[in-house]
Amino acid sequence: MTAARPAVPVPIRLPEEVLAQVDERLTATDALLARVYPGEDGRRQPVHTVYVPADQYTTDLPHQWGSQAAALVDQHGGIEWLCAELGLPDDLAGQVAPKVTAKLDREPIEDLRLDFEDGYGARPDEVEDADAVRVAGDLAKAIGEGIAPAFVGLRFKCLEEPNRRRGLRTLDLFLSTLLEAGPLPDGLQITLPKVSTASQVEAMVDVCTAYETAAGLSPGRLRFEIQVETPPLILSADGRAEIALALHAGDGRVTSLHYGTYDYSASLGVSAAYQSLAHPAADYAKEVMQAAVAGTGVHLSDGSTNVLPIGSADQVRDAWRLHHSLVRRSLERAYYQGWDMHFGHLPTRFVANFAFYREGFTRATERLSAYLSKSESGVLDEPATARALARYLHRGYSCGALDDAELQAAVPLTADQLAELSRPKSDTDNIAIRSG
């Protein structure tokens, strides 16, 4: 039964049959938007992906990276010195430094990818078979002992013809070894590299479906990331944005798009000295990726820098400044994740992230509180902005830049309510009422 409409002082001229026709005409569009653009699903997004050649993995690798990163910073002047070197004001540095120190001790790696692709190279089949089984077994042990990162997985060789069967065999061995030890981990990540066409994503969906059937997994259990490393995935031969087609060809299994700095740049003929996350060619590709994922709930990740903080003191400082500036640049452009190649990248990754969330904390909580309480403020925020403010605060909370106590003191929402408000399908009025 249709609810009665309130009386209005002017005539309503659009007849009911016209409104009904519009509803009928747009039924398919409504269903498409709900299915294809569901918005954020509340998944935590790691601030980085650390990738290492698979055969170098040991169960204590995350702890080793954290310890080595902390020792490197101490060797060059300490974390407070590093914050000052990177240009943080004293008050902000005082907030960030202890949190970075704690992060390096508690969770130095949020997302770990064991690489069987470029970082691993071509090896005899028996060697790669053995490595796939060994590292998956070690990873299962680390998961069982509670010392694995929150997100873990592998990057296997791509689906291009020369490597296709080798890559899929490694994927099969890796997953099957994990399953021998118990259920697949919740934070399992599978990276599909060098995708050029939507058909390769469709093939990956078929592979996942077949493996789930053979292993007795629930349909849809296996999901994967697409690594954007080839120009045809951005602009296909017939002029389409192939990345959008590939994303939706994933049938709901695609979790994120990861930009591949060096393969993509090299494919465009960019000289090695100028291959960078900040190159205009990179910006163009990432803007297309950003438009493709908008509203889908699929995450975005920037790539890496191959400039490592090693060598002389000046070289280390220059590498830290570069990495920090690139991470900060990505954050400002709504790329909240990137790839790290060396333990020395961890301090600047966390300094940049923690400073990004802490420096805007007071203003963001003031604006969100004013919106929720419907009080006057210097900014007229709308529901979309309120969601962005909540998402900003929740990202800061998830990575450790903000803690629960200070959030509770500054805004009348729990962390769970912040997460709910950050999703486009949330009911901001009801959240405001419940939080009052």
What's the pLDDT tens digit per position in 312-328?
999 999 999 999 999 99
| Cβ–Cβ under 8 Å, residues 234 and 285 | yes
240 shares a domain with 115: yes
Give the model confidence (pLDDT) of 41-79 as tens digits: 888 999 999 999 999 999 999 999 999 999 999 999 999
Q: What is the pLDDT of residue 284?
A: 98
Q: Closest Cα partner for 356 from 42, 110, 95?
A: 95
**Which contiguous run of DSSP H or E holds residue 412?**
none
Residue 22 belongs to some domain of the structure: no
Give the model confidence (pLDDT) of 146-170 as tens digits: 999 999 999 999 999 999 999 999 9
291 shares a domain with 166: yes
Residue 368 belongs to some domain of the structure: yes
Mean of pLDDT values over 266-282 = 96
pLDDT surpassing 90 at residue 247: yes
E strand residue ranges, 84-196: 111-115, 151-155, 188-192
Q: DSSP assignment, residue 155?
A: E
393 shares a domain with 311: no
- Out of 325, 358, 391, pick the residue that ends a domain: 358
369 shares a domain with 335: no
Whole-number Å distance between alpha carbons of 173 and 152? 16
279 shares a domain with 194: yes
398 shares a domain with 289: no
State how many domains the chain has: 2
338 shares a domain with 239: yes
389 shares a domain with 335: no
Whole-number Å distance between alpha carbons of 28 and 32? 6
Mean of pLDDT values over 125-144 = 98
Residue range(s) defining the domain that contains residue 293: 48-358
| Cβ–Cβ under 8 Å, residues 304 and 348 | no
Mean of pLDDT values over 92-103 = 98
Residues 6+ apart with CB under 8 A from 259: 227, 228, 229, 277, 282, 285, 286, 289, 300, 301, 302, 303, 335
- Out of 323, 358, 393, pick the residue that ends a domain: 358
Q: What is the pLDDT of residue 41?
A: 83
Task: Look at 55-69, 175-189, 247-261, 380-394 and tell me which has the smallest mean pLDDT.
Answer: 380-394
Please measure the distance between the N-terminal and C-terminal CA atoms of the chain and give it in whole angstroms. Answer: 32
Whole-number Å distance between alpha carbons of 134 and 380? 57
Phi and psi torsions of 252, nearest 5°: 85, 0
| Cβ–Cβ under 8 Å, residues 253 and 209 | no
More confident residue, 159 or 408: 159
Q: Closest Cα partner for 313 from 72, 68, 66, 69?
A: 72
Mean of pLDDT values over 171-188 = 97
Give the model confidence (pLDDT) of 327-348 as tens digits: 999 999 999 999 999 999 999 9
Q: What is the pLDDT of residue 132?
A: 98
Q: What is the pLDDT of residue 431?
A: 47
Residue 238 belongs to some domain of the structure: yes
The sign of the torsion formed by the CA atoms of 80, 84, 90, 95 equals: negative
- Hey, what are 139's tokens? 């990873």
Residues 6+ apart with CB under 8 A from 19: none
Percentage of the chain lying above the pLDDT 90 cut: 85
Mean pLDDT of the chain: 93
CATH number at residue 108: 3.20.20.360
Q: What is the pLDDT of residue 383?
A: 82
Q: Closest Cα partner for 148 from 119, 181, 193?
A: 181
Give the model confidence (pLDDT) of 351-379 as tens digits: 999 999 999 999 999 999 888 877 655 55
Q: What is the pLDDT of residue 82?
A: 98
The residue with tokens 């990202």 is 395
pLDDT surpassing 70 at residue 109: yes
Q: What angle do CA 225, 229, 230 make, to 5 degrees?
A: 125
389 shares a domain with 318: no
Q: What is the pLDDT of residue 433?
A: 34
225 shares a domain with 77: yes
398 shares a domain with 303: no
Length of the chain: 436
pLDDT surpassing 80 at residue 381: no
Q: What is the pLDDT of residue 416?
A: 86
Q: What angle do CA 149, 113, 83 make, to 5 degrees?
A: 65
Q: What is the pLDDT of residue 156?
A: 98
- Out of 314, 342, 358, pick the residue that ends a domain: 358
More confident residue, 100 or 436: 100
Whole-number Å distance between alpha carbons of 7 and 144? 64
The stretches of 306-399 forming alpha helices (DSSP H) are 313-332, 345-359, 361-373, 383-399
| Cβ–Cβ under 8 Å, residues 245 and 196 | no
Q: What is the pLDDT of residue 436?
A: 41
383 shares a domain with 265: no
Residue 8 belongs to some domain of the structure: no
The stretches of 42-78 forming alpha helices (DSSP H) are 61-75
- Hey, what are 32's tokens? 């498409």
Task: Count Cβ atoms below 10 Å from residue 138 Cβ, excluding itself.
Answer: 18
Give the model confidence (pLDDT) of 188-209 as tens digits: 999 999 999 999 999 999 999 9
Q: What is the pLDDT of residue 379?
A: 58
Residue 334 belongs to some domain of the structure: yes
pLDDT band at 2 (very low <50, low <70, confident <90, very high): low
Chain CA centroid to CA 384, Å:
21
Whole-number Å distance between alpha carbons of 179 and 224? 17
Residue 211 belongs to some domain of the structure: yes
Strand-pairing partners, residue 48, are: 338
